[in-house]
Amino acid sequence: MLAYAFRRVLSAIPIALIAVTVCFFILRLAPGGPFDGERALPPTVLANLRAHYNLDQPLVVQYFLYIWRLLHGDLGPSMVIDGFNVSQLISIGFPFTLTMALCAFVIATAIGMLAGMVAAVYQNKWPDYVLVLAVMIGVLIPNFLMAALLQLWFGVYLKWVPAGGWVSGSVWHLILPVTVLAWPHAGRISRLMRGSMIEVLGTNYVRTARSKGLGERLVLARHAIKPALLPVVSYLGPGLSYLLTGSLAVEQIFGLPGIGKYFVTAALNRDYGVVLGTTILYMFIILALNLIVDLVYAWLDPKVRYR
Amino acid sequence: MTKVLSVEDLSVTFALHESEVRAVNDLNFSLEAGETLAVVGESGSGKSQAFLSIMGLLAKNGRTSGRAMMGETNLVGMEKSRLDRIRGKDIAMIFQDPMTSLNPSLRVKTQLAEVLVKHRGFDKGKAEKAAIEMLELVGIPEPAKRANAYPHEMSGGMRQRVMIAMALLCQPKILIADEPTTALDVTVQAQMLDLFKSLTDDFGTALVIITHDLGVVAGVADRMMVMYGGRAIEKGRVDDLFYDPRHPYTLGLLHSTPHIAHRAARLDPIQGMPPSLEHLPKGCSFNPRCAFCFDRCLEERPPLMPTENGREKACFYEGPLKYGKVA
C-alpha cells in the first residue's frame, strides 16, 4: 500500500509539470497585460514595470524563470495588487474557500449517498421520483442562477437568511452559498449511488446473502453498500474539485471573502502571478484528491490492492 | 423415512409489462430426509425458479402460489422476517456460479461466520472458528489461512467449496444445489459431487440437485423429476428413468447425452427449440418436438399420472418408446 502510494506520488510530478506549462502559455495567449488601463501609462514607466516583472524577456526565458522560482516555493508577486505576493493572497482567501467547499462537500456527499440508497431500495416508487426531481433541479440550474433565485426567495422575500455578505463566524451567512454549492453535487452523488446500488442489489452475491437469512437490513449494510460505493468514491475527487472551483463564482455572487474574489479580478486584470498561483494550487489539490480516492478505492475493492 | 419438504400445487408467475408468464405450473413433489432428488430440464423449464420461489428469492415481479410445507410451516408467502429464521438454517441453497455468488468485498470468513452469528447466536470469534472447521471439512487446505482470503484470491473450485461450506454450516435439513457443477472443470465436478454425497450423508441432509447434466444425476441422485415448459412431466427412481424412460422428452434427453458404452458417430439432439413460456402450444407442451405425438396430444394437456413402481408421467402415448424414433 505504501509503495503504491509512493509510486503514485512520483507519477504525479510529470503531470504537474505539464499542467503548469500549459497554464503558463495559455494565459499568455490572452490579449492584454497587467498594466493595460483606460489611461495608458507613460512609456518609460511601462518599460520599467515590465522590466521589474521580467515581462520584457522572451516568453521562454520568463517560463524558465517562473519554473525556477516555483521549484523554490515562490509563487511570485502580484502584478496588480501592490505590496502583496501571491502566497499571501492565497493564505488570506483560501482558508475560507476551503472551509466552505468542505462543508458543502461533506453535507452533499452524506445526503447524496443516503438519498441514492433510499431511491434504489424504493426503485420506481414515490421516494425515487421525488429524488429524480430534486436531482434534475440541482443539476440543470447553473449555480449563478440558483444563487440568484435563492437570494431572492429566502433572502429578500422570506427574509429567513441573509441574502449575501459576510459576518465573521456567522453560520447564517453560509447557508445559502453552501446550499447552492452542495445541491448539484448531492444530485450527482445520489444518481451514482442509486445506479450502482440497484446493480448491486441484483447481483448473485446479494441473492446469496438473502438466501442465508441475514435479513434485509444486514444484507444492505454489510453486503450491498461497500461494493455500491465504488463508482461514488471515484467521483468524490473530481466532485470536490468542482466544488472548489464552483465556489469561486458563488463567493463572488454572495460577496464572501474567499479566494474567488482575488481570482476573478486577477483573471480580468491579467494578473499573471495570481491566476497561475491559484491554478497551480488547485492542480495540486486535484492531484492529491485523486491519490486519496485511489487509496480509498483499494480499500473498498480488494482486487485493486498490491498492484 | 420422514418427509422434510412437501410441495403442493406450486406455481410461479412473472408479471411482464402487459402480460404474465407462468414459469412454474402446479408442481407437486416431496422430499424425504437424507435422499437426493435430481431436477432435470432444459433452460427455461422452470426448474430454478421453482426452488428460488421456495427460498423466497424470486425477482421483484415474481409471484408464488401453492404450498411448500416443511413440517407444519408453509414457506410460500411467509413473512420475510420469519422466513429469514428458516433459510440459511433449515434450508440452504448453493448457486450456479461460484465466481459471482460470493461477495467480492468481504473476506471468506466474514461471509461464513455471519450465518452462525445469525442462526446460532455465536459471537464473532466462535463463529469464525467454526467456519474454519467447516472449510477444513469441505477439503480446503490451510483453512485458517484461506479464511482470511477474499473470493477473487481463490479458484472456482475453491469458491464452490466455500459455498458448500456456507450452506452446510447449520447442518440444514434441505440443501438445494442449483447447477452446482456447471461452471466448474470436469475434474473438479467429480470432486464436488463426491463432497456433496459424503457431507449430506453425514448430516442426514436431503439434497436437491437442479441440473441439465444427466451424468450428475446418474452419479448422485436417488430419484429424479424431469421438467418441461414449467411442469413436471416424469418422476421416478433414477434407475427406472434411465433404463426405461416413459416420456418421449426423457428419452430424448438420454439420447442427446454422450455415453461411453455406445460409440455413436454423432449425438442425437432433440429437434426444435424449448418452448417460449409466453406461447406454449395447445395440448401437450412438448407436442411440436415429439415423434410420438398423436391427435389427442394436440388438443388436451396430459396430466401427471401415476404408473407403476411409484413412477409418474405426463404422456398419453402408451406404446413402446424406442431409440431413434424421436425425430
Neighbours of A164 (CB within 10 A): 15
pLDDT in tens, A95-130: 888 888 999 999 999 999 999 999 998 888 888 899
Q: Does B103 sit within 8 Å of A208, measured CB to CB?
A: yes
Q: What pLDDT score was predicted for residue B261?
A: 63
Instruction: Tell how strand B312-313 and strand B305-306 pair up.
Output: antiparallel
Contact B65, B251 (CB under 8 A): no
Please tell me what DSSP assigns to residue B318: -
Contact A101, A179 (CB under 8 A): no
Q: Does A211 sit within 8 Å of B92, measured CB to CB?
A: yes
H/E element holding B233? strand B231-237
Going A305 to B138 to A224 to B95, the CA torsion angle's sign is positive
Question: Rounded to a whole number, what is the distance in Å from the CA of A289 to chain B's nearest CA?
Answer: 23
Question: Rounded to a whole number, what is the distance in Å from the CA of B61 to chain A's nearest CA?
Answer: 13
Q: How far apart, in whole angstroms, are the C-alpha atoms of residue A278 and residue A281?
A: 5
Give buried/exposed letters for A18-57 (b at 16+ CB in 10 A, else e). Answer: ebbeebbeeeeeeeebbbeeeeeeeeeeeeebbeebebee
User: Quick one: how far is CA A300 from the chain centroid?
Assistant: 23
Residues of A with CB below 8 A from B88's CB?
Answer: 211-214
> ipTM greater than 0.85, yes or no?
yes
Q: How far apart, in whole angstroms, are the C-alpha atoms of residue A27 and residue B290?
A: 79
Dihedral (Cα; A172, A174, A180, A186), 10-degree rounding: -100
- The band of A43, judged by pLDDT with boundaries at 50, 70 and 90, is confident
- Domain boundaries of chain A, sorted by first residue: 93-270
H/E element holding A287? helix A272-300
DSSP assignment string, A103-115: HHHHHHHHHHHHH
Residues of B with CB below 8 A from A212's CB?
Answer: 87-88, 92, 114-115, 118, 166
Q: How far apart, in whole angstroms, are the C-alpha atoms of residue A171 and residue B300?
A: 78
Q: Does A204 sit within 8 Å of B101, measured CB to CB?
A: yes
Closest C-alpha to B309, from B243, B230, B210, B257:
B243
SS3 for A131?
helix
Residue B326 has pLDDT above 60, yes or no: no
Q: How far apart, in whole angstroms, are the C-alpha atoms of residue A143 and residue A151?
A: 12
User: Quick one: how far is CA A245 from the chain centroid?
Assistant: 5
Residues of B with CB below 8 A from A207's CB?
Answer: 57, 95, 101
Residue A238 has pLDDT above 70, yes or no: yes
Give buried/exposed letters for B89-117 (b at 16+ CB in 10 A, else e). Answer: bbbbbbbbbbbbbbbbbbbbbbbbbbbbb
Selected residues 149-208 of chain A with any CB under 8 Å from a CB in chain B: 203-208
Residue of B nearest to A298 (CA): B105
Selected residues 200-259 of chain A with any CB under 8 Å from a CB in chain B: 203-216, 218, 222-223, 226-227
Q: Cell numbers for A44, please give them.
A: 518609460
Q: Does B57 sit within 8 Å of A207, measured CB to CB?
A: yes
Residue of B nearest to A222 (CA): B106
Please tell me what DSSP assigns to residue B257: S
pLDDT in tens, B255-283: 887 766 666 666 777 877 787 877 888 88
Nearest to A204 among B80, B97, B115 (CB): B97
Residue A307 has pLDDT above 60, yes or no: no
User: Quick one: how far is CA A294 from the chain centroid?
Assistant: 17
Nearest to A213 among B84, B105, B163 (CB): B84
A32: left (phi over 0), alpha (psi -120 to 50) or beta: left
For chain A, count helices (H), then strands (E).
12, 0
pLDDT in tens, A171-225: 888 888 899 999 999 999 999 999 999 999 999 999 999 999 998 899 999 999 9
Question: Rounded to a whole number, what is the distance in Å from the CA of A202 to chain B's nearest CA?
Answer: 9
Length of chain A: 307
Closest C-alpha to A117, from A107, A127, A108, A126:
A127
Question: Rounded to a whole number, what is the distance in Å from the CA of A195 to chain B's nearest CA?
Answer: 17
Neighbours of B59 (CB within 10 A): 10
pLDDT in tens, A52-97: 887 888 888 889 888 888 888 888 888 777 778 888 888 888 888 8
The stretch A246-275 carries a mean pLDDT of 84
H/E element holding B137? helix B124-137
Nearest to A205 among B100, B119, B150 (CB): B100
Q: Does A213 sit within 8 Å of B83, measured CB to CB?
A: yes
Instruction: Tell how strand B174-178 and strand B312-313 pair up.
Output: unpaired
Residue appearing with cell numbers 396430466? B303
Q: How far apart, in whole angstroms, are the C-alpha atoms of residue A176 and residue A170?
A: 12
**Residues of chain B contacting A, Cβ within 8 Å:** 55-57, 80-81, 83-89, 92-93, 95, 97, 100-106, 110, 114-115, 118-119, 150, 152, 163, 166
Q: Does B118 sit within 8 Å of A213, measured CB to CB?
A: yes
Question: Rounded to a whole number, what is the distance in Å from the CA of B228 to chain A's nearest CA?
Answer: 25
pLDDT in tens, B199-215: 888 888 999 999 888 88
- The band of A292, judged by pLDDT with boundaries at 50, 70 and 90, is confident
pLDDT in tens, B5-38: 999 999 999 998 888 888 999 999 999 988 999 9
DSSP assignment string, B189-254: HHHHHHHHHHHHHHHT-EEEEEES-HHHHHHH-SEEEEEETTEEEEEEEHHHHHHS--SHHHHHHH
Range of weakest confidence among A239-248, B30-39, B244-253, B261-270:
B261-270
Question: Rounded to a whole number, what is the distance in Å from the CA of B251 to chain A's nearest CA?
Answer: 34
Q: Does B150 sit within 8 Å of A209, measured CB to CB?
A: no
Q: Cell numbers for A204, please give them.
A: 448473485
Q: Does A207 sit within 8 Å of B118, measured CB to CB?
A: no
Question: Rounded to a whole number, what is the distance in Å from the CA of A271 to chain B's nearest CA?
Answer: 50
Q: How far apart, in whole angstroms, are the C-alpha atoms of residue B221 and residue B216?
A: 8
Residue appearing with cell numbers 473450485? B157
Query: What's the fold here for domain A93-270?
Result: MetI-like fold (1.10.3720)
Q: Cell numbers for B254, please give them.
A: 438420454
Nearest to A227 among B80, B97, B105 (CB): B105
CA angle B247/B249/B253 to nearest 5° reads: 120
Nearest to B102 among A208, A218, A301 (CB): A208
Length of chain B: 327
Q: Does A213 sit within 8 Å of B102, measured CB to CB?
A: no
Q: How far apart, in whole angstroms, are the C-alpha atoms of residue B243 and residue B323?
A: 12
Contact A185, A109 (CB under 8 A): yes
DSSP assignment string, A48-93: HHHHHTTTTS-HHHHHHHHHHHHHTT---B-SSSTT-BHHHHHHHH
Q: How far apart, in whole angstroms, are the C-alpha atoms of residue B283 and residue B31?
A: 29
